[in-house]
Amino acid sequence: MNQFIILAVVVALMIVAMLTSRKEKVSKVETVKKSKSVEKDAWSKESFVNYGQVQQLRNELIKATEEKLGDDPEQVDQLKKIIDEWADLKVESFKDRRSWVRNPEKND
């Protein structure tokens, strides 16, 4: 009788351990799924433009900055640097988005 009780306790512990392990795995998969979904939504909402469009917008922004803040050359220079960095990042993001087609082994 004692052996039966011990066996029942061991089996119960194994069942609890398996269920807990399964819940943890499901939880991890759901977390990964949510993060992938968030990333996918972010990519879909991102506005991608080509190099020419970025340069045109960059020039328009610089021209507007020079016209509006012509009195303060330091601020104009700072804003030009920020606009140039933004344009570079925009072009890089476009290249990175398309890079998997050209270099699939780079992502591995």
Rounded Cα gap, residues 103 and 41, in angstroms: 23
Question: For the residues 40-54, what does the mean pLDDT come to?
Answer: 73
In this structure, are 2 and 41 located in the same domain? yes
Residue 107 forms part of a structural domain: no
Q: Which pLDDT does position 100 carry in this prediction? A: 58
Look at the chain and report how many structural domains it folds into: 2
Residue 106 forms part of a structural domain: no
In this structure, are 70 and 92 located in the same domain? yes
Q: Which domain holds residue 88?
A: 47-101
Query: Quick check: pTM over 0.85?
Result: no
Mean pLDDT of the residues in the chain: 81
pLDDT in tens, 78-100: 999 999 998 988 888 777 766 55
Is 83:108 a contact under the CB 8 Å cutoff? no
Q: Which pLDDT does position 50 carry in this prediction? A: 75
> What b/e sequence results for 22-51 when a residue is b if at least 16 CB atoms lie within 10 Å of its CB, and e otherwise?
eeeeeeeeeeeeeeeeeeeeeeeeeeeeee
Question: For the residues 14-37, what does the mean pLDDT come to?
Answer: 85
In this structure, are 52 and 92 located in the same domain? yes
Tokens of 86: 């933004």
